[in-house]
Structure 1
Amino acid sequence: MTDQSIGTAEQLRDPNYTPALGKAIPLGIQHVLAMFVSNVTPAIIIAGAAGFGFGSNSPDFPELLYLIQMSMLFAGVATLLQTVTVGPVGAALPIVQGTSFAFIPIMIPLVAGRGVDALAALFGGVLIGGLFHAVLGFFIGRIRFALPPLVTGLVVTMIGLALVKVGIQYAAGGVPAIGTPEYGSLLNWSAALVVIFVTLGLKFFSKGMLSVSAVLIGLIVGYFYALMVGMLSFEAIGSSWARSAAFALPQPFKYGFEISFAAVLGFCLMAFISAIETVGDVSGITKGGAGREATDKEISGATYADGLGSAIAGIFGGFPNTSFSQNVGLIAMTGVMSRHVVTCGAIFLILCGLVPKVGGLIRTIPIEVLGGGVIVMFGMVVAAGISMLSDVDWNRRNMVIFAISLSIGLGLQLEPGAVQHLPDTLRILMTSGLLPAAFIAIILNLVLPEDLADEATEEVSGGMSGAAKGSLPHK
C-alpha cells in the first residue's frame, strides 16, 4: 500500500523525487532493517568455516569484527553507486546492495579450516571477480539467452540447498560443538525455535515495519531469550563491547593479495549468475515501483555498479555484493520509488560500518540464535529457486537436464571425497557442487535440441512426461 502523505502518485513513481527528510530517513532505515541480518550473516559463516575463534577472548575476534564491519560499510558504498551513480556506473534506481549468499558455497571450500591465511587468496578472487562482473555490463543483455529459468532456478535452488546444512549446524550449537554432548541439545534448539516462531508470527500476522523486519526482530527476541536462560551473559557482552573500537577506517589489502586460480575462476563464473539476478531485481523494481520495463541503460549501469562495488569491497576485505531481492518487494509494498530514500539507508550502513562496536554487538549473538534466522533465510533461498523453476516447461528434455545437473552438483556437495584425486584447484571448484551443476545445465541447455522434448524415451523419463508450463509432470 502506498503512502500518499509522502507525495503524489506521480511523484512516488519517480526515482528522482526526494521526499521530505523526516520521511526519507525512516524509509531508508526501513530498507536497512529489511536486509541487515542477511548482509552480515555471510561474514559470520565464512569466519566459522575458516576456523575463527568466536569468543570475545579469541585472538581471531578482531578479524571477525573487521569482516562484519566491511560487510556493512561496502554494502553502503555499493548502494550509493547504484543510487547516486558515477558516470555510467549505477542504475539511478532505489537498488539496495548487500553481501551475496550466492558466493558462499564457493568461498567455504576456499577457506575451510585455513584461518586468516586463506583470506589473501579469497579477497584476491573477490577483486578480480568483481572487475569481471563489471565488464559483463557491456553485454549483459546478449548472454541472457544462456541462462533461462531452468538454469537460474537450478542454481538458486542449489545455493539454498548448499546452505541449509549451515543453518541446522548453527541451531544445534555451531560447527565447533559437533561431537560434544551439548551439540543438538534441547536448550540450543529452543533458542533457534524462538527465533523461527517469532519471525513467522510477525511475517504473517503483522503489517508494515514489523513484517518487513521480522527476521531482525526474531533475532532480537532470541537474543533476550538467550540472556534469560543463561546462554549469554552480560559479562560477555561487556567484554565484546569493550574490545571493539568506537571508530575505525578500512585498511586496503589488510590480509595481503594473492591470486588463486580456483578463487578467480569460481568468482568469475558466479558473476554470471549474480549479474542475471541483478537484471531480475532491476526489472522487479521498475515494474513494481514505476509500472514500466527497465531500460538497457539501467540494466547495464546496475551491472557495472554490482561488479565495481564487489571489486572495491575486495580491496578492503569485503565480500561480493549484489542487489537484494527483499528490498525489491519492499518498494512494491510501500510504493516509494525514490532512489534518494535508499541513499539515506546507504549512508546509515556506511556509518555502522565505520563503528566496530556495532559489529562487536552483532558478534555476541549466540550461534544458536543466529541459526534460527539462518534457517528461515536459507529456506527462502530454496523457495525462490523453486519459484523460478515454476516458469519452466517441464518436458522430458528439461527434466533430464535438471536431473543430471542436480544429481552431480548435489552429489559432489554431499560426497566431496569422490573427487579427492583431482588437482587442488579443480577439486575445490567441483566440491562446491554449484559450479559443476551450473556448467552442466548451461551446456546441456545449449547443446540438446529442443525437438528432443517430445522424443525422450520412457526409460529416461521413468514414465513421466512433461505437462503444461510450470506444472508437475504426469503419466
Structure 2
Amino acid sequence: MSDQSIGTPEQLRDPNYFPGLARGIPLGIQHVLAMFVSNVTPAIIIAGAAGFGFGSDAGAQGFPDMTYLIQMSMLFAGIATLLQTISFGPVGAKLPIVQGTSFAFIPIMIPLVAGKGVEALPALFGGVLVGGLFHTIIGLSIGRIRFALPPLVTGLVVVMIGLALVKVGIQYAAGGVPAIDSPEYGSLLNWSAAGVVIIVTLALKFFARGMLSVSAVVIGLIFGYVFALIFGMVTLDAIGTSWDRAAIFAAPEPFKYGFEFSLAAVIGFCLMAIVSAIETVGDVSGITKGGAGREATEAEIQGATYADGLGTAIAGIFGGFPNTSFSQNVGLIAMTRLMSRHVVTIGAIFLIICGLVPKVGAVIRTIPIEVLGGGVIVMFGMVVAAGVSMLSEVDWNRRNMVIFAIALSIGFGLQLEPKAVQYLPDTLRILMTSGLLPAAFIAIILNLALPEDIDGKPDISGGLAGDE
C-alpha cells in the first residue's frame, strides 16, 4: 500500500489522522503481526523455566496456567497500547506506540521462578506490580536521569539481554530443557524444524516487501508448524485436545496466583524499570523522527513513561508481565510513514479480543518447542544486534573500552557460572546471577566515576594504547 493511497504527506505525519476502516483495519493488524510472536514468547519461556511449559513433566497439569499467561500477554499488551494511543489524563503519549511484553525482564524473572512451578508466581507478579508503579514514578524525572544511561550503558544492557536469551533459543531448537537427557535432544529432525522457521523468516525479511516482510517471523512459524505436522512432531489429536480444553471466553482474574512481596523481585523489577523507561524514550523519539520528522516533546516522553509503568502495574495484578514499547513497530511506522494513533488503536483492540479468548492461547500452546526455537533464535539474535547498533554510537576510547570490558566480563561471567556466588544471601544471589543487573550497575557507576579525559585508543595487538 503506497503512501499516496493512505493520505497526503501532512495527514501521514498527523497522529490524529485516520485513513478509514477499510485501510485502518489491515494496517492495525499489520502492527499486531509485527509484534505478536515477540509478545507471547516471554510467557512461554517463563512457564518453561518454572516447570509447567513445553515438554515438562508438569506440562499437562500446567496447561491452563501456561494458556492463561499467554492470554494475559495479549490482553495487557492491548490495554497498555490503548493507554498510549487514547491517553487518559497525563498517562499516554497520544502517539502510535505499540506496547508488548518486554524481553528485558526475562533474565530477572528466570532465576525467580526456576523449577519452582506456579508457587513462584505470587512473588513474580508482586514484583511486576511494584516495579510497574516505580516505573510510573520514573516519568516525573525521566529527563533528569537520561544522562546516566548513555549508549555505552544502554547498548551494553541490550547486548546482555540478548546474550542471556540466545541459550534459550538453542535449547528450544534442540528439543527443550526437559529433553536434554533424551536421545532425541539435538536430533536432525528437531534442528530441521527450527531451520525451516529460520530460512523462511530470513527469506521473507530480505526478499519480500510490505506485509510479508513485516510478518516474517509469524509466517516462518506457520511453515515450521506445517513441517512439524508432516513429520509427526505434533498431531491433530493434540491440537484438537488443546482446542477442546480451552474456553471460548475467559475474563482475567485479579491476583489469580496470589500476591507475595519478594525483596529480590521488587529490587530486580525496579532497577530494570529504569532501563525500560530509557528504552521507551528512545522509541518515542524514533516514532516522532521517523513518522513526523520532529523531536518528541517532554509531555509525550512523560506520558509514554507513565503508560509504560501503569500498564505494567495493571498487568501484574492480573498475571501479566512487564510491558514496554516495541521497537519493531517503531520501524514499521518509519516504513509506512503513517503516524496515525488510531490505526494502532485498532491493533490494540485486536490484541484485547485475542486475550479474552483462551482458545487463541491454546493454539499457540500446541506449537512444538523446536519450531518456536527457530523463531526465538532469530528474535534474540536481533536483540543482540540492536545492542551492537546502539554501541556503534560510542566513542571507543580507552575509558569506554575499560568500562565495557569490566561490566561485560563480570555480568556475563556470573550468568554463565551462577555457583560463583552461591554463598551470598538469597536476594543478592538472585540479582547477581541475572548477570544483567551487575553489568548495568558496574557500567553506570564507572561511567559516572571515571574521568572523561582518558583518550587512549584500543590497541588490537594486546593491551591498551597509552599503556607503558
TM class by shorter chain equals over 0.9
Where in structure 1 do 4 or more consecutive aligned residues deviate above 2 Å?
53-57, 460-466
Partner of 2:87: 85
Q: CA deviation at 1:463?
A: 3.5
Q: CA deviation at 1:2?
A: 4.7
Q: What CA deviation, in whole Å up to 9, does each residue of 1:414-457 have, x standing for no partner?
A: 00000000000000000000000000000000001111234x99
1:43-442 maps to which residues of 2 (within 5 A)? Answer: 43-54=43-54, 58-442=60-444
TM-score after normalising by structure 2: 0.97
Further displaced range: 240-249 or 17-26: 17-26
Within 2, Cα distance between the matches of 1:19 and 1:313? 31
CA contact (8 A) 1:53 1:59 kept: no
Gaps of 5+ in 2: none
How far apart in 1 are the matches of 2:135 and 2:168? Answer: 27
Amino acid of the structure 2 residue aligned with 1:38: S
Deviation of residue 59 (structure 1)? 1.1
Residue 24 of structure 2 corresponds to 24
Secondary structure at the aligned position of 1:4 is classed as helix
Post-superposition CA distance 1:289-328 (Å, at most 9, x none): 0000000000000000000000000000000000000000
Q: Distance in 2 between matches of 1:53 and 1:343?
A: 31
Separation in structure 2 between the aligned mates of residue 156 and residue 465 of structure 1, nearest angstrom: 28
> Does the CA-based 8 Å contact 2:52-2:59 persist in structure 1?
no
CA deviation string 1:233-255 (max 9, x = no partner): 00000000000000000000000
Rounded to whole Å, the distance in 1 between the matches of 2:455 and 2:169 is 38
Matched residue count: 465
Q: Percent identity?
A: 82
Deviations 1:375-433 (A, max 9, x none): 00000000000000000000000000000000000000000000000000000000000
Gaps of 5+ in 1: 467-475
1:400 and 1:461 in contact (8 A); partners too: no
Q: Equivalents in 2 of 1:364, 1:191: separation in Å?
A: 14
**Matched residue of 1:5: which SS?**
helix
AA partner of residue 285 (structure 2)? S
State how far apart, in whole Å, the 1-side matches of 2:378 and 2:53 are: 25
Q: Is the 8 A contact 1:54 1:61 kept in 2?
A: no
Q: Partner amino acid for 1:435?
A: L
Amino acid at match of 2:211: M
Corresponding residue for 1:469?
none
8 A contact 2:71–2:357 mirrored in 1: yes
TM-score, length basis structure 1: 0.96
Local SS of the residue matching 2:234: coil
Q: What amino acid is the match of 1:12?
A: L
Please state how far the C-alpha of 1:180 moved relative to its aligned partner.
1.0
- Equivalent residues of 2:34, 2:215 under 8 A apart: yes
In structure 2, the residue corresponding to 1:322 is in which secondary structure? Answer: strand
Rounded Cα–Cα distance in structure 1 between residues aligned with 2:240 and 2:54: 15
How far the C-alpha of 1:179 sits from its partner, in A, is: 1.3
- For the residue of structure 2 that corresponds to 1:204, the secondary structure is helix
Partner of 2:5: 5
Q: 1:471 maps to what in 2?
A: none
Quote the RMSD (CA, aligned, Å): 1.6
